[in-house]
Amino acid sequence: MVSPLFASFARHAIDADGIRINVRTAGDGPPVLLLHGYPQTHSIWHLVAPRLAETNTVVLTDLRGYGDSDKPPSDAGHTPYSKRAMAHDQRLVMQELGFKRFAVVGHDRGGRVAHRLALDHPQAVSALAVLDIVPTRHAYQHADADFGRGYYHWFFLTAGNDIPERLIGGDPEFWIRARMGARHHGGTPFDPAAQAEYVRCFSNPAAIHASCEDYRAAGSIDLVHDEEDATADRRITAPLLALWGEHSFVGRHYDVRSAWSEYAEDVRGAALPCDHYLPEEAPDETVDHLRAFLTALHWA
């Protein structure tokens, strides 16, 4: 079925080493991969992707565990939901579409997958944009009481014994609408069709479990990988654009450019007039910054 949000986009189901990834594509020109966050799907880009497709080949995916992509079983070490495994999926998707080198833009969890993609496959990533995040390792290293209150879901979702799965599963629509509503500040309202998609996909118990595994991996195996990179002084070599909401927790609690400068060689960035959901709250500003960034790199 063609989503009314992406009527002009072709839909694909691409096999990434046995994991089926839901993909949409449109446009022509230099390729750019857009990755969503929690608890969204690729639908978060519905106001951004069609405009970027005027100048670029745009690829939208649902991360493994989310949306209409596969939700593989996990293990005791949460390895299937490590950002390394999720990044591997995305590289294979782009290869299958014929793109050996591409730009990648990630919001929230998608930004963490994009970060890992740029580290593990620097030959594939021409440019990286991360939306409203600082590096996972940096966030944990600087966690305090304010972090615990603002990002309580990082700890709640990692709880064992199926506690978050059972509690969220009791009313997934409430969880999504409440969580998103708490992190919206002015700007464009959430589109009802997009929110309906988030609710539809997240109402699947397998999606709730997979997303918890994503967060469990972030607090365990992902940190191991991040420490290995730090010890080896591996940094992102692709140009990096950081965008954040001036009203978001990230914007209010971190020096975002400085944080990313510890992990990347070439960092630029800006705050946008919104909270956490930049592609939905501030789509015009998001498009303007991404288009300027991608165009400058293309003609450099």
- 19-27 and 10-16 strand pairing: antiparallel
Q: Which of 108, 132, 214, 222 is catalytic?
A: 108
CA atoms of 42 and 161, how far apart (whole Å): 29
Q: Which long-range contacts (CB under 8 A, 24 or more apart) does 135-139 make?
A: 135/226, 135/259, 135/260, 135/262, 135/263, 136/83, 136/112, 136/218, 136/222, 136/223, 136/226, 137/223, 137/226, 137/227, 137/230, 138/254, 138/259, 138/262, 138/263
**108 is a catalytic site residue:** yes
Tally of CB atoms within 10 A around 77:
13
Tally of CB atoms within 10 A around 23:
25
**214 is a catalytic site residue:** no
In one-letter notation, the amino acid at residue 162 is D
CA atoms of 243 and 106, how far apart (whole Å): 10
Beta partners for residue 184, in sequence order: none
Decide if 277 contacts 36 (C-beta within 8 A). no
Q: Which of 36, 107, 276, 289 is catalytic?
A: 276
Catalytic residues: 108, 276
